[in-house]
Amino acid sequence: MGIKQYVLALGLIAGNAMADPLPDGFVYLRDAAPEIAQDIRYAGPYNFTDRPVPGYQAAECVLTRQAAEALATVQTRLVAQGYGLVVWDCYRPDRAVKHFAAWARNKRAGQLKPVFYPDIAKADLHRLGYIARRSAHSRGSTVDLGLVRTGEPPITPAMDDLRACDAPYESRPRETSVDMGTNFDCFSDQSGLGARLSLEVWDKRDRLESAMNEAGFRGYSKEWWHFRLRNEPFPTRQFDFVIGPRDTGKD
């Protein structure tokens, strides 16, 4: 990241409101299920906007208690199969959703366009269902996640790795050792149910979807990583509190 981009990123972070206490009914996933790996992409610059996103003052997954407890159940099931979860986004402040909408209206393509939306015009991301004007994430029971091998740490790719997210596994930025067909937040037909993929990749997607369905989550046809808790506790409310660091109780 260049000096100018770094300064802009710092300005975004400084421009966020002070972090808010969690509302009743919300928890840090690290407290509910510390064994689940986290790589919260919108807290840093490696995402489709090229910058940290407003509302993310800490790289922490926050969810409703019900969603966090359901994910803990999924993790237990997957560990018995040699896998685990990695979460990339959880609760999303409504200001971040509005930021994405404004970003999509700006015609300038970003540095990471070749990675995240290599074959789609930025102006078409809303129409094609990749950028939402209202997001279920802001209700606190929707999560973006994938698979890792048991005990494997996730990898945030380098900003200068501009290989396409939907390229063959060995030719795209590495996130985990598990090939899911595309990377996270890959705006491509290869991310959806109609993708032409190997049986091995479909096995991994089916493994993830089955475990999530059994725990009460429902997937999204365009994004293999996106799941919403069916019986979410706040089905009509959009939250906008800022995600801040966990209070670990240590001075």
Is 90 exceeded by the pLDDT of residue 9?
no
| 242 and 19 Cβ atoms separated by less than 8 Å | yes
| 60 and 88 Cβ atoms separated by less than 8 Å | no
Neighbours of 144 (CB within 10 A): 23
Neighbours of 28 (CB within 10 A): 22
Q: Within 13 Å of residue 140, how many CA atoms lie on the same side as its CB?
A: 27
Is 90 exceeded by the pLDDT of residue 90?
yes
Of 60, 175, 223, 232, the catalytic one is 223
Confidence of residue 19 (pLDDT cuts 50, 70, 90): low
Quote the pLDDT of residue 11: 43
**Taking CA 58 as the corner, what is the angle to CA 56 and CA 62, rounded to the nearest 5 degrees?**
80
For residue 126, the surrounding DSSP H or E stretch is none
Sequence-ordered list of residues with C-beta below 8 angstroms from that of 180, at least 6 positions apart, any chain = 146, 147, 201, 204, 205, 208, 224, 225
Quote the pLDDT of residue 249: 63
Sequence-ordered list of residues with C-beta below 8 angstroms from that of 48, at least 6 positions apart, any chain = 110, 112, 115, 116, 117, 185, 187
| 224 and 208 Cβ atoms separated by less than 8 Å | yes
Q: What is the mean pLDDT of the chain?
A: 91
Backbone angles phi, psi at 56, to 5 degrees: -110, 90
The pTM score is: 0.91
What is the DSSP pairing of strand 37-38 with strand 83-89?
parallel
Sequence-ordered list of residues with C-beta below 8 angstroms from that of 239, at least 6 positions apart, any chain = 23, 91, 93, 94, 138, 139, 140
Sequence-ordered list of residues with C-beta below 8 angstroms from that of 197, at least 6 positions apart, any chain = 181, 190, 205
Q: Which of 130, 108, 160, 149 is nearest to 226 (CA)?
A: 130
Quote the pLDDT of residue 167: 97
Q: How far is CA 33 from the centre of its chain?
A: 17
The residue whose two tokens read 């001075």 is 251
Quote the pLDDT of residue 42: 98
- 152-211 confidence digits (pLDDT tens): 999 999 999 999 999 999 999 999 999 999 999 999 999 998 899 999 999 999 999 999
For the chain, list the domains and their CATH numbers: 3-229 (3.30.1380.10)
Q: Which of 13, 5, 87, 18 is nearest to 53 (CA)?
A: 13
Q: Is 170 an active-site residue?
A: no
